[in-house]
A and B are shown apart, each in its own frame.
Chain A
């Protein structure tokens, strides 16, 4: 196999495969990227057996064929080459020879035989604008539980459905058992061929954001699935993930219905207040308290070994006093994820779930963040 590519193209596509390549070297072939040259394209494939990516770029193919080389080493080297074209050729011993201007390098490779075969993508069942998917992910990914258990999933739920006579609705939800992030978007999405309800693993979500950003504002994501895998096609790039097993909790039950006490606050103010006060919260639990009272919100910690702290933030609140405990880290995650100037806290009492929302979102885009209180 022999082909010539633009260095910039190769660097870009290799860069996208880095997040997928297996970091631990338990199975050496998984640290490699599979290079396949045919027609006028070079395609690159990487996988860690959970997640797989296939990208491609234009190439002048002199001799079709394939081979594998260590992905990181290849990227690190190619990046240092001068801009312009480079030629890569696989030798009989699976080594790759790379020539570029006056540079000549041979890299140890491995036969493609042992590289895992990625499943073929079935027909797409739904389509989403890439920026929408990316935004849904960035607003929910932080609420995913770090570990997987019978009661928590290491991923988020994506639902795309079309209620009769109404515009299609896409929903993404994530939770770690203590809090839940919920995005609901109406319209803009072509009606799905069939309703979608899939669990997307966290690692896949992070890669999707990268691919969506790389693809630009006009691009779209085609979604497909077989029994074991989910496929996301963005332009010429394909991301494949194993499906997460498990049942997503019944989140509808958790979304508060009668949180009638509402406080509207300046997002920067409350974020800064929580961040500062949190310095004096317990190292582990990050517990802080918030006292909602007329026109004012007090963020504070009860006194501990490390000291105590309190901040006052003006608010439009007019309900009864509510003194409620929260994990500060949970609040900060949300306050960092929204860009609106104002946020609202919607409460019932100090024992029930609190809800946070950005203020001023269009009705077609609802972002809800539910946090369970702490007893301190």
Chain B
């Protein structure tokens, strides 16, 4: 009795339907997901001509029974769902029974598969959806699917394919991400006979991240080993125990000094499925609020696990979107867990290492992609001219000849060499050591130089004080203890219509933050009292700045965001300016207060506060090690 079944119409109709195969990468994604669903531990991907000529995905999974092999190419034929109820708790990556028939209809496909339960395997050939052959064959266990000449029968589609390099970059990024989601499996990606990615099973996610991205990137990351939160769901019927749902989050976050121009370095996996989700994206941005500048993004590799009932994956045919049953719970959990992790690890940025291609703020994915593109477009022969500087050493070493081939295919060392146990300092450079900093003096009356057992530190006095004041103001605000100074004469300021609208929106919050303002008619506002931290001379500027900041994402900005923006403006104004001489006691005071803050690593606008020149680097620079 086979495992695959054709779904009854009433189930099939409930599945988000649409175009599945868009480009080579979508084929790779479907085949890869099938391999993972089949319980494989080794997956090998091969592409030729960026996947346009050939895509082959071979796995060592459960394979298909003879009867199933043909059935798999029927629409809505799947082994992963039975009835409508199953749709509510999807635990596999696939569930539609759409992928294979869709791919088979736009390519020349060959399937070779054998289930361990049977002695012989099956070979099937289909072209443009027409079955050409179906034979019994002697095959190893597992499945290998070869897709040739994608879109050979759909010229319109073929026209829309991008260059081979671009398509290859998409395939590579996909393979990379799935390899991160399954660190215990081995993955290989070959392109036109060259190896692009080869990772052996890793003991931990950290090790896999290291294999894939290299040590430089790992140094800039903070590991989140696992945050958990429970959600109690009231019982359906009285008398039943309330159900408990567990949410688990782990992954890697960038330190605040890593700032990306776009969201491309944020990878979110929900139950091992790579997704794009606005809700989680927002939670991530919120976690970094006031830690990195607005409009910039962190690097994040996040794995959210939860009960299948809590997340609906049947939202979009591409299976890249999900819908959470308890959206705000998930949002807040992710945001808070990330914040706590950043709070706990207090990572300290270090002085940039000597110019190297793996810059601290490098963008792992796009750099990877860029390299693939560069690689693909580079002339085959080395240029005869001397270059000014050597070409950047690629993160994944394409040019290196295959290193000694050991008996087992999977034993080949990965491209970064073995994972050295001490490659990543146990706790990383941490701002914890701020407490025993000894200020030595100032540079240009703007930066405090301080020494500690772990090296030399430079602290930007303005942003350090800004951070201190920012947290202080927020605490006072939370406790309703803002100190307010009345003004001798009200300051009357004129607003533009736009500012007027924003003013009306945040008037209440302004009051709670210590601004006694009163509309004066005709778009003027009288300020009668203001937070004591703010001098009368600064008031107008601060208020306009607050109104300015309340604008850009007016709709997406919560009152909490506005509160923080107000505190940031006040803190910035009241903080010690650069070009200000500080005596020893003042510097000591500043460092002490900074050490006591929750997030001593960056100012509320996201600029770094402290840099460390670690003992290790110092010793290295002096050739002592």
Which residues in A have some Cβ–Cβ distance to B below 8 Å? 145-152, 175-180, 249-250, 253-254, 282, 284-287, 325, 327, 351, 353, 370, 372-376
Q: Are A148 and B489 in contact (CB under 8 A)?
A: no
Q: In the complex, which of the residues A282, A285, A351 contacts B486, with contact meaning CB atoms closer than 8 Å?
A: A351
Jot down 22 A-B pairs with beta carbons below 8 A, ordered by A: A146-B535, A147-B538, A151-B536, A151-B539, A152-B535, A176-B536, A176-B537, A177-B487, A254-B489, A284-B469, A284-B472, A285-B485, A285-B533, A287-B483, A287-B532, A353-B486, A370-B488, A372-B485, A374-B485, A374-B532, A376-B483, A376-B484
Whole-angstrom distance between the Cβ of A303 and the nearest chain B Cβ: 11
Residue of B nearest to A148 (CB): B537
Residue of B nearest to A370 (CB): B488
> Cα distance A375–B511 when bound, in Å?
13
Q: Does B48 lie at the interface of the complex (its beta carbon under 8 Å from any beta carbon of A)? A: no
Q: Are B536 and A145 in contact (CB under 8 A)?
A: yes
Q: In the complex, which of the residues B484, B532, B537, B540 contacts A145, with contact meaning CB atoms closer than 8 Å?
A: B537
Q: In the complex, which of the residues B469, B481, B536 contacts A178, with contact meaning CB atoms closer than 8 Å?
A: B536
> Cα distance A376–B482 when bound, in Å?
7
Q: In the complex, which of the residues B483, B529, B541 contacts A282, with contact meaning CB atoms closer than 8 Å?
A: B483
Whole-angstrom distance between the Cβ of A284 and the nearest chain B Cβ: 5
A250-B489, A375-B529 known; 18 other A-B pairs, CB under 8 Å? Answer: A176-B536, A177-B488, A177-B489, A178-B485, A178-B487, A178-B536, A254-B488, A284-B574, A285-B483, A285-B533, A287-B532, A327-B532, A351-B486, A372-B485, A373-B486, A374-B483, A374-B486, A374-B532
Residue of B nearest to A150 (CB): B540
Q: Does B491 lie at the interface of the complex (its beta carbon under 8 Å from any beta carbon of A)? A: yes
A177 neighbours in B (Cβ, 8 Å)? 487-489, 491, 535-537, 539
Which residues in B have some Cβ–Cβ distance to A below 8 Å? 469, 472, 481, 483-489, 491, 529, 532-533, 535-541, 574
> Cα distance A162–B159 when bound, in Å?
93
Residue of A nearest to B596 (CB): A305
Given A149-B540, A282-B483, A284-B469, A353 contacting B535 (CB threshold 8 A): no
Whole-angstrom distance between the Cβ of A343 and the nearest chain B Cβ: 20
Q: Are A374 and B484 in contact (CB under 8 A)?
A: yes
Q: Are B484 and A375 in contact (CB under 8 A)?
A: yes
B481 neighbours in A (Cβ, 8 Å)? 376
A353 neighbours in B (Cβ, 8 Å)? 486, 488
Whole-angstrom distance between the Cβ of A356 and the nearest chain B Cβ: 14
> Cα distance A289–B481 when bound, in Å?
14
> Looking at B485, B487, B533, which has the most chain A CB atoms within 10 Å of its CB?
B485
> Cα distance A180–B574 when bound, in Å?
21
> Cα distance A121–B259 when bound, in Å?
59
> Looking at A149, A175, A287, which has the most chain B CB atoms within 10 Å of its CB?
A149
Q: Are B488 and A175 in contact (CB under 8 A)?
A: yes
Residue of B nearest to A175 (CB): B488
> Cα distance A263–B524 when bound, in Å?
39
Q: Are B536 and A327 in contact (CB under 8 A)?
A: no
> Cα distance A284–B589 when bound, in Å?
13
What 5 pairs between A and B have smallest CB-CB spacing?
Answer: A177-B536, A285-B532, A147-B537, A149-B537, A372-B486
A180 neighbours in B (Cβ, 8 Å)? 488
> Cα distance A253–B488 when bound, in Å?
9
Residue of A nearest to B492 (CB): A151
Q: Are A284 and B532 in contact (CB under 8 A)?
A: yes
Residue of A nearest to B476 (CB): A282
A149 neighbours in B (Cβ, 8 Å)? 536-541
Residue of B nearest to A373 (CB): B486
Q: Are A152 and B536 in contact (CB under 8 A)?
A: yes
> Cα distance A370–B487 when bound, in Å?
11
Residue of B nearest to A351 (CB): B486
Q: Are B541 and A249 in contact (CB under 8 A)?
A: no
Residue of B nearest to A330 (CB): B485
Q: Are A372 and B487 in contact (CB under 8 A)?
A: yes
A253 neighbours in B (Cβ, 8 Å)? 489
> Cα distance A325–B514 when bound, in Å?
15
A375 neighbours in B (Cβ, 8 Å)? 483-484, 486, 529
B540 neighbours in A (Cβ, 8 Å)? 149-151
A147 neighbours in B (Cβ, 8 Å)? 535, 537-538
> Cα distance A118–B484 when bound, in Å?
46
> Cα distance A132–B91 when bound, in Å?
89
B488 neighbours in A (Cβ, 8 Å)? 175, 177-180, 249, 254, 353, 370, 372
> Cα distance A33–B486 when bound, in Å?
45
Whole-angstrom distance between the Cβ of B398 and the nearest chain A Cβ: 55
Whole-angstrom distance between the Cβ of B154 and the nearest chain A Cβ: 67
Whole-angstrom distance between the Cβ of B467 and the nearest chain A Cβ: 14
